[in-house]
Structure 1
Amino acid sequence: MFATASPSEPASIPVERRGQGRLLVEARALDGRTVRGRIEEEGFARVRFPRSGRRGRALEAVMINTGGGLAGGDASQSCLVAGRDAQLVVTTQAAEKIYRSDGATSRIEVELVAEACASLHWLPQSTIVFDGARVERSIAAEVAPDARLLLVEPVILGRTARGERVSHGSLADRWRIRRDGRLIYADGLQLDGDIAATLDRRATAGGWAAFATLLLVAPDAEARLEAARGALGLDSGADDIAPATLPEGLDAGASSWDGMLSVRLLARDGAPLESAIRRVLGVLGVGEVPRIWHS
């Protein structure tokens, strides 16, 4: 007699078969350019450094998940270090997919370090969360007072281009940013259970399924606020959104304080979200997005 698990009752994956990935990338300055330092790869985690990705002094690293995504119970750990005077840009080969879980929770841990006079841009492609997925993600960063750190994290709930909708699951996101050892930014998101009902509320997402946070920590971060608001179509110098100028399918806000600039984006689907991210990056000092974004 044979039993086959139905889609509504996914079979449990044995612990020993769950994916584990660990990655360490260190970049260092050498003779006016940035080169690879120590590199460690484990499990499904890989990194490549395409020559086409080099931009002046910066080194571009492309992270690869050879497993094609994360399922229930998989774990990913990444440590990315831009050493003194180094310029490191990190992206991903493709959108990271978080698949439906059998009940176990996937975990993603990202550690970022920007040492003195360094620049570290964390620019992953979107994280796509499937219906029934369970994931916990943490991002921790340490930034030197004169360093530059840019984080961009887009999340799309379901493959919106196919009309998919996430109804249930769990998504927990935790950010902790420290400058010179002092906590300067803490953020958290928790979606659990009936996600669709939560997102349908006007006070949360109004039924839209794509969102992103962009955070710049840099000596010139606050001076870029007006340019960021202009790129989004917000009223210059005002906190209120100008609905007539915002692109269709996009809601946004930007603020700055204490050497930081934060941009929040909420979109109907992935297309207006990606367009807005590209516009904002242009005024945050990113001359050109990673080439792999075009593939």
Structure 2
Amino acid sequence: MPGRLGGTGCAAVLPVRTDRLVLRPPTPEDVADVVALAGDWAVARHTGDIPHPLTDAPIRAWIGTTRQTHADGTGVSVLITEAETGAIAGAVTIAWHRHWPEAELGYWVGRPFWGRGYATEAVRAITDLGFATFDLAGVFSSTRGDNTASQRVLDKVGLRPDGGVLEVPAPARGDTWMQARRALTRDDWVRLRAARARMVLVVAAALVDPDGRVLLAQRPEGKTMAGLWEFPGGKVATGETPEAALIRELREELGVDARAACLAPLTFASHAYADFHLLMPLYILRNWAGTPTAREGQALAWVRPARLRDYPMPAADRPLIPVLQDLLGG
């Protein structure tokens, strides 16, 4: 039987924080923002229980229901909010009956926040919470056949079609939908979590010019996380030291020569991605030979420390910014 949220205490598990998000209980002050996002037909049409047009009353009722669910220990319903801005981006729910071995998962994300990976990040976090905290035997969900975006999210988190078909009530649509069931068992979750713990060692450098600017490189099209800006560097090969790997990567990526004596270790990033754990030492480099040139199709930018946050970065790189700003000013 799943563990009881009420027994654990809501404050003990909520809010849930991820790299970019905070998953927190809704409050009456959130009603207007939730209505604006969930009331969009592009969002509501894929759900069976969000009325359209949407008014305040159903959202106020939903908030009351979430409080009761938390108190009863039969599920968790939270808003998806941005960690940096506090903006509401959507909602995610995981719920079970006291005697169910599995929990049902559901979520929605507002249209202004599509394409940012928030759904995957939030669904993975709530799924981890369910298995790790409430001793669930499994998690299941279902989607309409035309909702391919939601199917991709569930695939990324590990929920796969299991051959089942669910008859899903859709009271807001006045209908009943037949939807393919997707599920994730505890054993599969443990296996996936172990795969995410696989360690990958990457090394990076903050090249600093005489004006105190830092060099960023933009990942080119065709690579994972294309378009994001990062500190130059790359993977440490078997048998390499971090310094040797960084010297090699800087030569290959930028055409510059650096000496190990000029590499000053500053800090490191430790970040869990979906299928591996990244450990990334960051070095400061102020002296090198040659002019940094994009040799792998990447764009380059010399950036003032105060403006580093203006450049979208991978989740592992962002925590390095305050350390650099403390060192360089700004």
TM-score when normalising by structure 1: 0.31
Which of the two has greater strand per residue?
1
TM-score when normalising by structure 2: 0.29
Which of these two proteins has the greater Rg computed from alpha carbons? 2
